[in-house]
Amino acid sequence: MTALIEHVRALIAKEGPLSVERVMGLALSDPTYGYYATRDPFGAAGDFITAPEISQMFGELIGLWCTVTHEQMGAPPDVLLVELGPGRGTLMQDSLRASARIERFCAARRVHLVEASARLRAIQSARLAPEPVSFHERLEDMPPGPILIIANEFFDALPVGQLVSTPDGWRERVVATHGGALCFGVGPSPATNLPTWLPPAQAVPEGTIAEHAPEREQVAALIGQRLARDGGAALIIDYGHGASACGDTLQAVRAHRRVDILAQLGDADLTAHVDFARLARAAERAGARAYGPIGQGRFLQALGIDARATRLMQGATQEQAAQIRSALERLTAPSAMGELFKAMALTAPGLPAPAGFEAFAARAPALAYG
């Protein structure tokens, strides 16, 4: 039994069953027992691999996206370059290197990282030295000024709640105990504050699960407010769906395999699909414009990943060239990360469509998100 399971059992004994949202929050971010607080989970020896860890091309292209967007913003002489949930710092390291020759951008950028895990902050700091980096626990703590925000696989690490359809309405899915073990259950009364897109519980089969993510929407709203107030843009890349729909997408992964969600709480990564439509809507309500989402493959191809791979293969050994080809395939192929992973941009109103999202330029926000 993990230390977090003991902790959750003690909380349930004291407070009664806990919502899935609360348990997911504890599992990922509890400062003592949480998954990210207690380990470096990335890479072949860890639990999962993310796009920046697959290839330097990912961070490099995002670095160039930032330089182009900075120019679109009118090249302010000071710009906060912010990454939310930077993991090992690899994406930021690759993007800083790729943008190093763009003098105006380099003179303007100030790197700020939002990271909840003290352990990962130490890894990021070492990785990015000697670049001056400011750390924050929350986006709210960021100083004012024009801003460029990058978030790769950050939103999927924020908790979701789950609702279950019953004959008398939607109820919160909860975690309870049975014979000492953790198990899923259903809350005692119909839930309130339901997401507006949700169909009536009686219109879907009994037991249908739907997810809602107030914390994710709060962060998107905060980004939207910030962009509308100070100018700038955000690039959000994650796995998920473009339109809100019912479904249970919560999953636990350990050592690159799916495992039982409650059996290894705190020792396995817990994620759930990102509902891009909800993020876009929250940011637009706060005053920003939203573009996309589009498949990660299409986005990276629009930024020139094929040309970058060809360039890297020149002068590479056969083995290196094979690795570059395989990384390209993994990042862009629809059967790999090319479609399930999606990119969405948020901008201050009045900015042109960001690189990669030009096809959305003529589309009114209301048409895109209803």
Ligand X SMILES: C[S@@+](CC[C@H](N)C(=O)[O-])C[C@H]1O[C@@H](n2cnc3c(N)ncnc32)[C@H](O)[C@@H]1O
Q: Given the rule CB under 6 A, which residues bind ligand X? A: 28-29, 36, 42, 50, 52-53, 85-87, 91, 114-117, 120, 152-154, 157-158
Nearer to ligand X by C-beta: 42 or 170? 42
Cα 249 to chain centroid, rounded? 15
Nearer to ligand X by C-beta: 44 or 203? 44
Ranked by CB distance to ligand X, the top (closest) residue is 85
Nearer to ligand X by C-beta: 78 or 137? 137
Nearer to ligand X by C-beta: 55 or 165? 55
Nearer to ligand X by C-beta: 52 or 231? 52
For the CB of residue 42, give the shortest distance to ligand X in the complex, in Å: 6
Nearer to ligand X by C-beta: 170 or 341? 341
Nearer to ligand X by C-beta: 114 or 268? 114
CA–CA separation, 76 and 228 (whole Å): 15
For the CB of residue 199, give the shortest distance to ligand X in the complex, in Å: 30
The size of the chain, in residues, is 370
For residues 170 and 194, the answer to whether their CB atoms sit within 8 Å is yes
φ/ψ of 66, rounded to 5, equals -65, -40
CA–CA separation, 128 and 96 (whole Å): 9
φ/ψ of 283, rounded to 5, equals -70, -40
For the CB of residue 126, give the shortest distance to ligand X in the complex, in Å: 14
Nearer to ligand X by C-beta: 47 or 353? 47
Instruction: Give the residue among 89, 87, 225, 94 at the shortest CA–CA distance from 157.
Output: 87
Instruction: Spell out where 220-288 has E strands.
Output: 232-241, 251-254, 257-259, 269-271, 274-275
CA–CA separation, 323 and 319 (whole Å): 6
For the CB of residue 141, give the shortest distance to ligand X in the complex, in Å: 11
For residues 216 and 158, the answer to whether their CB atoms sit within 8 Å is yes
For the CB of residue 350, give the shortest distance to ligand X in the complex, in Å: 29
For the CB of residue 271, give the shortest distance to ligand X in the complex, in Å: 7
CA–CA separation, 221 and 278 (whole Å): 10
Instruction: Spell out where the chain has E strands.
Output: 18-19, 79-84, 109-114, 133-136, 147-152, 161-166, 169-178, 181-190, 209-212, 232-241, 251-254, 257-259, 269-271, 274-275, 289-295, 341-347
For the CB of residue 204, give the shortest distance to ligand X in the complex, in Å: 30
For residues 89 and 127, the answer to whether their CB atoms sit within 8 Å is yes
For the CB of residue 244, give the shortest distance to ligand X in the complex, in Å: 22
